[in-house]
Amino acid sequence: MRRALGGLVAVALAVGAVGCSTESEMETWRDASAGSGAAVAPEGASDEGASAEPVAQEPLLALTSSSIRGESCTVGPPRDLAWFDVQWEALADLDGFAFELVDPVGVRQVGEGIVVPPVNYGGRIDYSGATTWSGRADIGRSGEVSWVERDPVSSWVPVEGQTGLVVLHLRFDGTPASISGVRATWAAADGEQGETTVDLDERWTFAETEAGCA
């Protein structure tokens, strides 16, 4: 997707499907295992020394983006952007979170960013794009988010089921820029800590004339 900056861009949020095994499939697997001739430890036998398989940590914060791949071209010198292509959902009560760019080239994040909640508490946000940082209040023109309820990222203590739109302040050095994702680090109310990353392929270029962006 190639877009010229200067206005807001709204695109549909992509949601991935997750597959799972049915109970009947699991029973079939058990039956096949029973007839495989594999040795079975007698009842009561000690399994001391057996290595336990690691348990994968379930993320307590989900990140999504409706712009998995994007390319933008700006005519004239680079301007600071208010970039809002990432949405989050708390899957448990959290003490807080923070967001950062992954593999930034030619661009850096200024400050911690802000979070804008949806109009409906816990609602889905099908809204993303970019505008100038000085004109970031334009984000509130969407009927999906409540700009008046925005707050700096560090002031949020998300509860389970809460959602929000992440707005990051981006500053460019004028060379072709790119990022490969956005990473969130979070801490749960019970002390658990972790991180969640959404992969992106976002690129920005700059030209002196409109012909340079063609």
pLDDT, position 53:
56
**Average pLDDT value over all residues in the chain:** 80
Q: Which fold has domain 57-213?
A: Immunoglobulin-like (2.60.40)
pLDDT, position 66:
80
Could you state, in order of their start, the residue ranges of all structural domains in the chain? 57-213
pLDDT, position 111:
97
Q: For every residue of the chain, which 3-state class applies, written as one string?
A: CEEECCCCCCCCCCCCCCCCCCHHHHHHHHHHHHCCCCCCCCCCCCCCCCCCCCCCCCCCEEEECCCCEEEEEEECCCCCEEEEEEEEEECCCEEEEEEEEECCECEEECCCCEEECECCCCCCCCCCEEEECCCHHHHHHCCCECHHHCEEHHHCCCCCCCEEEEEEEEEECCCCEEEEEEEEEEEECCCCEEEEEEEEEEEEEEECCHHHHC
List of the chain residues with pLDDT < 70: 1-57, 68
